[in-house]
A and B are shown apart, each in its own frame.
Chain A
Amino acid sequence: MNDVALPTRHADDRLGPGGCASVPVVHERGQREVFCGLTAIVWLHRKIQDAFFLIVGSRTCAHLMQSAAGVMIFAEPRFATAIIDERDLAGLADANEELDRLVARLVSRRPDIKLLFLVGSCPSEVIKLDLGRAAQRLDRRLAPSVRVLHYSGSGIETTFTQGEDACLAALVPELPRAERGERSLLVVGALAEAVEDQFQRLFAEMGLREVAFLPPRRAGALPAVGPRTRFLLAQPYLAETARRLEERGASRLDAPFPLGVEGTVGWLHAAAAACNVAPEALERAIAAPRRRAEVALAPHRARLAGKRIFFFPDSQLEVPLARFCANELGMVPIEIGTPYLHREHLAADLALLPPGVRITEGQHVERQLDRCRAARPDLTVCGLGLANPLEAEGLTTKWSIELVFTPIQGFDQAGDLAGLFARPFARREALAV
């Protein structure tokens, strides 16, 4: 791993003609134990600080949100639910008038809101409430103080992190058109603030000044996009966002996701290659953080090497995480479950996976549990609905949602990411009760 270009070249070798199509994937259907896209609001509302998320749905949607986020005590929550009731269903109330009334109440209560998302849910999609038009109407009414957009976070259409994809995709048409001129780089996907700052510094050292991030921290700071924009996905679940960016002329850079040293090197390399950064400049910029990351990884690798790991589907981060666990921690993936597999976006990561791993797309949770119990992996990555019950059966688990809520990308988080997998073992060893 001394050669900067190694990981991506390695990837290209494996891809060859036909590329990642050669990786066999098992499709499974049945009960899916996953979150719906509404859950993404839990982190998006913290990322875009002057945005408000109004779910149009049922009491179930409201209940989901407060069960997920309500353990924090909010003085000013930045999300709410417009609960559809029987009068709306019976057609006794005009749903659009009702929505206008609620939004007026909300906006008068919260004058700090600059961006309002109307978020669709299963009930609103099934009854075909046109939130797109509602958003346009409200947007005209509330201009210029509040911008109103809409997307769907329903369970029938989106799984967990896809809620962020739908939200960012809704932002894409809002991005200002980039001026002609220098090439710009756009990093897409919500990242922890510290991680974003680290990447910003690394890009600057590579000589890249024109780097912007989507989503921005404030609704008013949307980055520009145009035919000379190159974008790097920081997250693997952004299919629709990428598609819309491409519609606006931007082009996506092929890269592994920036998890671990290998992923981060490959990711930065893709940026460097696309933006004409000299290899020496890239190597200079990343030499020190890369060494730090390798130092930080070593003790975790000693603990985790040889451990068998099983991923239940959750966030679409599973493939790059498994790649990191296998290649940098020496772990042995038994099964990688993912809710959806975007072969094109994950091509570089798939190519870096060790051969013979079982990848499953979709889920039949009972059968998957049977396989997991039969395999008795050393570590099972799964959602919170399964984690405690599996622990009670004697399996060691790592709850997967934490991987979405924790800064894990980039060199300086590689050790932390490994630590997330190591901690359940450390705990098992520490406890004598």
Chain B
Amino acid sequence: MHLAVWTYEGPPHVGAMRIAAAMRGVHYVLHAPQGDTYADLLFTMIERSKTRPPVTYTTFQARDLGSDTADLFRAALRDAYDRFRPEAILVGASCTAELIQDDPGGLASGMGLPVPVVPLELPAYQRKENWGASETFYRLVRTFAGRNASPPGSARPARHPTDRPRCNILGPTALGFRHRDDVKEVTGLLERLGVEVNVVAPLGASPADLERLGEAEMNIVLYPEIAAQAASWLARTFGQKTIRTVPIGVGATRAFIAEVVEAAGLDATHLLNAEESRLPWYSRSVDSTYLTGKRVFIFGDATHAIAAARVASTELGFAVVGLGTYSREFARDVREAAAQYGAEPLITDDYLEVEAKVAELQPELVLGTQMERHIAKRLGIPCAVISAPVHVQDFPARYSPQMGFEGANVLFDTWVHPLMMGLEEHLLGMFREDFEFHDAAAPSHLGHAPKPRETAAGARQAPAPSPAPVAAETGWTAEAERELAKIPFFVRGKARRNTERFAAERGITRITIETLYDAKAHFSR
């Protein structure tokens, strides 16, 4: 058992739903107890879908457990086929149905339905949402693309000289963070490069489209968490090339273009020269100087976290102090990236561990998921969302890709917005007793009514982070405590931690003003 205050991923059957809901002509019959239909809301409310997800649930209740739940499943499957007439049916179990072991795949295979039935084995007590989506997509690709596979060992025929190179875009799903606009941005980029998009899948694809996947000569894996497994099978089966660079950020987009043109044998010099994002100039303009060395903590799925670290470090000039992911499948990649930026790696799906790490590192900005917004609120740290899980506000009406050159523009605005703006930050450092602009107030451009200042003595801020209130053991003198309060709040946590570490290492028990400044000098190296 483990304690989950918040969970980064849903159960694997939700991943399967994301594939079914993304596609056309696929229906999912899910053996699940009453109540599991809550997952429909993810699609109809969070993503604001106009249709119900193509999922039929058996919704068994306690009274059904005494009788034949397998019959219930068979009846639901038969009804779903008769009513929806899909081209293909997925069958599987949710966590509770897994315990009663009715074997949906076996039951369905004996029913002689006139369409392909793809059974899903999604171990709900071991695996999670992205794994479920990846596995489901892989099963569907094998079933349908596999129909057109050449005999093993046969070479891929060369492209006709007058044909344009063709690619598949793999990975976008329903409920994906900005998948809708990323696909549009990347498709536009590929068109300008002269590369034709053969199939986008699973988003918008039908089983018949999946049958055509082998016709393209390369696969663009936009979201490895969803599509890496299917792409590597396609590469083996059809001799297709795989484009692995995820085009999030200006540098990564350029690397992506380079990888595509090399694979397609094209020349993209003109395009690389012409394509432009505003991020490089915005980031170089003097207004952004104060962003230099801002200490940022990054957490999300592996793809978005690694991409964000590169942008933060090389395109915005932040210092990445922590880099983590809940995608255990990609832990090695995240560790390597963290080493590259000198950041602490964190591979966990335990929200409390992430919270403890943020509290310990005391960053000035958190780039994370909806869950890190809870942490940042608790610790009073600015935060922007870079990855799923996300809530309704991160399925915006406006065009908001993360990928490509427009995506980089979006990233610049989104990440800088929560930070205190330059002038305000300077003035706060100089004058600390203003009744309107003060520590406890949110940045004024965020438009909240200023909170009344606490009484003079209570000016200490920052709720003690949950594990181990360190300050209790080290003795701060009253003067040193007051001096600490003069340090701007967004670096104060870090200053407190450094001073205490400095004192502990030297066996200093009473922290005075002298200790504070000694530590400051020590760590300024």
Contact = CB atoms under 8 A, between A and B. Distances in A.
B35 interface: yes
A190 to B, nearest CB: 20
Contacts of A62: 4, 6-7
B379 to A, nearest CB: 9
Nearest to B49: A388
Given A32-B59, A389-B49, A122 B96 contact: yes
A131 to B, nearest CB: 12
B6 A389 contact: no
A59 interface: yes
A386 interface: yes
Given A32-B37, A67-B41, A156-B61, A77 B5 contact: yes
Nearest to B96: A122
Given A66-B6, A387-B44, A76 B378 contact: yes
A58 interface: yes
Contacts of A122: 33, 35, 95-96
A388 B391 CA distance: 17
A39 B49 CA distance: 22
A154 B33 CA distance: 9
Bin chain A's interface residue count: 35 or more
B7 A385 contact: no
A56 B3 CA distance: 9
Contact of A85 (B2, B37, B49, B466): B2
A25 to B, nearest CB: 18
Nearest to B127: A59
B199 to A, nearest CB: 27
Nearest to A121: B96
Contacts of A93: 1
A125 interface: yes
B418 to A, nearest CB: 13
Interface in B60-113: 60-62, 64-65, 76, 79, 83, 94-96, 99-100
A13 interface: no
B278 interface: no
Interface in A77-119: 77, 80-86, 88-89, 93, 95, 98-99, 101-102, 105-106, 109
Interface in A304-340: none
Given A122-B96, A123-B95, A33 B4 contact: no
Interface string A139-154: 0000000000000001
Nearest to B392: A71
Nearest to B56: A31
A34 B34 contact: yes
Interface string B309-326: 000000000000000000
Contacts of A30: 79
Contacts of A70: 6, 370, 389, 391
A386 to B, nearest CB: 7
Given A59-B128, A63-B11, A102-B1, A125 B62 contact: yes
8 contacts: A33-B40, A60-B95, A63-B9, A88-B1, A156-B64, A384-B44, A385-B44, A388-B48
Given A59-B11, A88-B1, 16 more contacts: A31-B59, A36-B33, A58-B125, A59-B10, A60-B95, A60-B124, A66-B7, A67-B46, A88-B125, A89-B125, A105-B3, A106-B3, A126-B65, A127-B99, A155-B61, A156-B96
